[in-house]
C-alpha cells in the first residue's frame, strides 16, 4: 500500500517538469488511496488510488460498467444517497478526509459540483435553475447580488447571450446542448472548486459537444475538472491527465498524450485502439 502511495506522489512532480516552463505548478486537489466500493455484494471498485491535479482536467475512461461513474460519485459522496453502496478507503480534498464523520456532506457537495450525463434542469425558469444553489446556500446578500451571480454563472457557462432575453422561460424549453450548459452554470453558481462531469456530452450532437468542450477548456482556468467520457477523442482533446479503468481496477493513469500515444499497459493499448470495450 505504501508503495502505491509513493509511486503516486512521485509521479506528479515529474509530470510538472515535463510541462512548459510557464505552466502553473502541479498541486494535488483531490487525493484517493485504496478506494473500494461495494454495491451490496458486488465489488464495483478495487483499490483505486488516483491524484487529481488542481486546475486541470482529468479524464476517466474505460469500458462500460468498469466503475467510472461509481468513482466519480465517490468524490462528492453522491453514493451516500444509494442505500446499498459502501465506500472504504481514503479520499481527501485539500488534505481533508471527505468521508470523515465530522464532514458536512451538504457543504462538501457545494464545493464539489456535479454535471450529469443527461441534462436535468429543474422544472423551473432558467433564472431559478441557476439561482437554486445560491438560494439553498444563502450565497447572496440581496436581489441584485443574486442577479449578478446568475448572470456571471451563465456567462461562464457560455450561455448568457443565448438566453439573456428569456431568463423567465422554463429551463426545459432549451435545446439539449443549452440545457447541459445550463446545468454547468447551475453548478458554477454555487462557487465550487471541483466540477465532476459524467459523460456530459453523450446526449448531444457534435456541434453542441464542441461548445461544451471549449467551455471545459475555459473552465480549467478556475476549476478542477474530472470528466468521464466514452470518447477517446474527447479525452485527448480536453484533458491533461487520463485514468483508464477496467472491471473495477484502475489500470493506468498518466499524462493524456502519453496514455494515448504510448500506453504502458496492454489493456490500455487494447482499449484506446478499439480492440475491446
Ligand X SMILES: Nc1ncnc2c1ncn2[C@@H]1O[C@H](COP(=O)(O)OP(=O)(O)OP(=O)(O)O)[C@@H](O)[C@H]1O
Q: Which residues bind Mg ion (CB under 5 A)?
A: 69
H-type alpha helices, the chain: 2-18, 68-75, 105-111, 126-137, 143-156, 160-163, 176-189, 206-219, 232-238, 256-261, 266-272
Cβ 3 to ligand X shortest distance, Å? 26
Site for another protein in 118-137 (CB under 8 A): 118, 120-124, 132-133, 136-137
Cβ 131 to ligand X shortest distance, Å? 30
Cβ 196 to another protein shortest distance, Å? 8
Considering beta carbons, is residue 42 or 164 the nearer one to ligand X? Answer: 42
Considering beta carbons, is residue 168 or 274 the nearer one to another protein? Answer: 168
Local structure of residue 125 (DSSP, 8 states): B
Helix (H, G, I), strand (E, B) or coil at 111: helix
- Binder to another protein among 88, 96, 107, 261 (CB under 8 A)? 107
| Residues 195 and 156: beta-carbon distance below 8 Å | no
| Rounded CA separation 69/16 (Å) | 27
Sole window of 55-63, 141-149, 183-191, 211-219 interacting with another protein (rule: CB under 8 A): 183-191
| Rounded CA separation 26/36 (Å) | 26
User: Per-residue x/- mask for another protein, residues 44 to 83, rule CB under 8 A?
Assistant: --------------------------------x-x--x-x
Considering beta carbons, is residue 110 or 227 the nearer one to Mg ion? Answer: 227
What are 176's three cell numbers?
Answer: 439539449
Asked if 177 is part of the footprint of another protein (rule: CB under 8 A), the reply reads: no
Asked if 149 is part of the footprint of another protein (rule: CB under 8 A), the reply reads: no
Helix (H, G, I), strand (E, B) or coil at 66: coil
Pairing assessment for the beta strands 42-53 and 85-93 based on DSSP bridges = unpaired
* Interface positions with ligand X (CB under 6 A): 39, 42, 44, 64-70, 82, 84
Buried b / exposed e over 3-41, threshold 16 CB at 10 Å, is eeeeebeebbeebeeeeeeeeeebebbbbbbebbbeeee
Q: For the chain, what is the total number of helices (H) and then of strands (E)?
A: 11, 10
Sole window of 29-37, 41-49, 104-112, 241-249 interacting with another protein (rule: CB under 8 A): 104-112
- Binder to another protein among 183, 201, 216, 227 (CB under 8 A)? 183
Please tell me the number of Cα atoms within 13 Å of 258 on its side-chain side: 15
Asked if 114 is part of the footprint of another protein (rule: CB under 8 A), the reply reads: yes
Sole window of 13-21, 46-54, 101-109, 237-245 interacting with another protein (rule: CB under 8 A): 101-109
Q: Which residues pair with 43 in a beta bridge?
A: 38
Considering beta carbons, is residue 53 or 62 the nearer one to ligand X? Answer: 62
Binding stretches for another protein (CB under 8 A): 76, 78, 81, 83, 106-110, 113-116, 118, 120-124, 132-133, 136-137, 183, 186-187, 190
Amino acid at each position: 500500500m505504501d508503495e502505491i502511495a509513493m509511486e503516486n506522489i512521485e509521479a506528479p512532480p515529474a509530470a510538472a517538469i515535463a510541462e512548459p516552463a510557464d505552466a502553473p505548478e502541479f498541486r494535488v486537489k483531490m487525493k484517493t488511496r485504496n478506494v473500494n466500493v461495494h454495491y451490496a455484494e458486488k465489488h464495483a471498485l478495487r483499490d483505486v488510488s488516483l491524484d487529481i491535479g488542481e486546475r486541470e482536467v482529468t479524464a476517466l475512461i474505460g469500458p462500460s460498467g468498469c466503475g467510472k461513474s461509481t468513482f466519480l460519485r465517490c468524490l462528492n459522496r453522491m453514493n451516500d444517497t444509494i442505500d446499498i453502496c459502501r465506500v472504504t478507503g481514503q479520499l481527501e480534498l485539500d488534505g481533508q478526509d471527505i468521508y470523515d464523520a465530522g464532514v458536512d456532506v451538504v457543504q462538501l457537495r457545494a464545493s464539489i459540483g456535479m454535471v450529469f450525463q443527461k441534462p436535468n434542469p429543474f422544472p423551473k425558469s432558467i433564472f431559478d435553475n441557476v439561482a437554486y444553489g445560491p438560494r439553498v446556500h444563502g450565497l447572496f446578500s440581496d436581489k441584485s447580488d443574486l442577479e449578478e451571480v446568475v448572470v456571471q454563472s451563465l456567462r461562464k457557462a457560455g450561455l448568457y447571450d443565448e438566453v439573456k432575453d428569456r431568463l423567465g422561460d422554463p429551463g426545459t424549453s432549451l435545446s439539449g446542448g443549452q440545457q447541459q450548459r445550463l446545468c454547468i452554470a447551475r453548478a458554477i453558481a454555487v462557487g465550487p472548486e471541483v466540477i465532476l462531469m459524467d459523460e456530459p456530452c453523450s446526449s448531444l450532437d457534435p456541434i453542441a459537444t464542441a461548445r461544451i468542450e471549449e467551455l471545459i477548456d475555459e473552465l480549467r482556468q478556475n476549476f478542477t475538472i474530472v470528466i468521464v467520457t466514452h470518447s477517446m477523442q474527447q479525452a485527448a482533446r480536453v484533458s491533461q491527465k487520463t485514468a483508464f479503468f477496467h472491471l473495477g481496477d484502475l489500470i493506468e493513469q498518466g499524462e493524456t498524450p502519453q496514455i494515448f500515444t504510448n500506453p504502458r499497459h496492454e489493456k490500455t493499448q487494447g482499449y484506446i485502439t478499439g480492440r475491446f470495450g
